[in-house]
Amino acid sequence: MTATAPGADEVRKRAFAFPRRHFLSVTDLDPVQVGELLDLAEGFVALNRQTTKKADLLKGRTLINLFFEASTRTQSSFELAGKRLGADVINMSPRASSIAKGETLVDTAVTLNAMQPDILVIRHGSSGAASLLAQKVSCSVINAGDGQHEHPSQALLDALSMRRAFGRLGGLTVAICGDVLHSRVARSNVALLTMLGAHVRVVGPPTLMPPDIARWGVEVHHHLKTGIAGADVVMMLRLQLERMQGALVPSMREYFRLWGLDREKLARAAGGVRVMHPGPMNRGVEIDSDVADDPQVSLIQDQVEMGVAMRMAILAAMAARLDNRGPL
């Protein structure tokens, strides 16, 4: 599956124009478009492993990272992706800006928009925040996580990691385990993986499951052991520790005992099972270090690497769309 060291020209040949002005949800794409975007990302994986990682697909473009929530992986990978593609990138974080002075989300975005950026990457703690901004600004908006709604670039990078590990996505059994209720990663992954023909299970206590989740086209399991039985991929979700206070789960040790992933429970999954986690991990809460750090099993470091390549592909596709529009 891995392309052999193509340069930036090789990537350019695969250029795929994003079908929409904004990227807010995985449902903005159809399965064919997802395939093309993943192919494009493969090219960037190869490019990123070279000494010279630069391509000038975003030359002259400005990218603003507007992150209202703390983020290590997503923000740095969008920043790196933008820089490797030749864009000017700035990072805005709430504490350093006038948001701390009471400026509203929309006002902040409209102000930044007046500086003529081409792409605004936003993360916000409220569901629908990216969609709200997309209605108010003229640049392209990429949703880097909105509340408990979606995190589409994460689902794409997860799909890329899985496709590289298994050579396919259709027919894989993927168990998404843990706090599905509060997880935008789970929502985007369920939507994308079911769209691509994978069998998706969600596993966790009922208090951490969204209402009527059975109608999302997934199998619902409340026991980890049965939930991951025969699974090709076990995707663990981060348990936010503040959930203990809300009477959602009783304690960390009970959670780990019943829903934490360790070697023994993992033995029930299919042979060649791969373990994923969107990070940051709570070792000893949802995942045992022994499993997380085993390179034979864990795709967690691959996910981080794929994160940069996938975001380069998304940005390149966005830029291709902007270029096709021609001079206004």
Partner 1 sequence: MTAQPMAFVGARLVDPESGYDGPGSLLISNGRIAEFTRGDEQGGLSDDIRQIRCEGALLCPGLVDLRVKTGEPGAEPKETLKSAARAAAAGGVTSIVVQPDTDPVIDDPAVVDFILRRARDIELVHVYPAGAATKGLEGEAMAELGLMREAGCVYVTNADRPVSDSRVMRRVLSYAQGLGILVAHRPADPWLTQCAGATESEFSGRLGLASAPVAAETIMLERDLALVELTGARFLVDQISAAAPLESLARAKARGLPILATASINHLSFNELDIGDYRTFCKLNPPLRGEDDRLALIEALARGLVDIVVSAHAPAQPEEKRLPFDEAAPGAIGLETLLPALLTLHHESRVPLGRLIHAVTMAPAQAIGLAAGRLTPGAPADLVLCDIEAPRLIDAAALISKSKNSPFDGRRLQGAVLMTLVDGRIVHEARP
Least distance (Å) from partner 1 to the CB of residue 214? Answer: 9
* Interface with partner 1 in residues 153-212 (CB under 8 A): 184, 187, 210-212
Site track 212-251 with partner 1 (rule: CB under 8 A), x = hit? xx-xx-----------------------------------
Least distance (Å) from partner 1 to the CB of residue 20? Answer: 14
Least distance (Å) from partner 1 to the CB of residue 97? Answer: 17
Helices (H), 18-91: 31-48, 73-84
Part of the chain binding partner 1 (CB under 8 A), chosen from 44-52, 144-152, 163-171, 194-202: 144-152
Part of the chain binding partner 1 (CB under 8 A), chosen from 143-151, 169-177, 192-200, 301-309: 143-151
Collapse the DSSP code of 73 into the 3-class scheme (helix H, G, I; strand E, B; otherwise coil) and give the result. helix
Choice between 113 and 126, CB closer to partner 1:
126
- What is the DSSP annotation of 240-277? PGGGGTTTSSS-HHHHHHHH-B-HHHHTTS-TT-EEE-
- Note whether 162 and 174 are within 8 A (CB): yes
CA-wise closest residue to 62 among 118, 107, 8, 24:
118
Q: Of 61, 124, 164, 277, which lies in the binding site for partner 1, with binding defined by CB under 8 A?
A: 124
Distances (CA, A) of 116 to 60, 112, 135, 276: 12, 7, 16, 38
Q: Which residue type does 61 have?
A: R
**Tokens linked to 94:** 């709430």
| Residue 110 interacts with partner 1 (CB under 8 A): yes or no | no
Q: Of 93, 148, 226, 298, which lies in the binding site for partner 1, with binding defined by CB under 8 A?
A: 148
Report the alpha-carbon distance of residue 226 to residue 252 in Å, rounded: 21
Q: Of 91, 93, 126, 226, which lies in the binding site for partner 1, with binding defined by CB under 8 A?
A: 126
Choice between 49 and 136, CB closer to partner 1:
136
CA-wise closest residue to 191 among 158, 165, 224, 167:
158
Q: Which residues would be at the binding site for partner 1 (CB under 8 A)?
A: 104-106, 124, 126-129, 131-132, 146-150, 184, 187, 210-213, 215-216
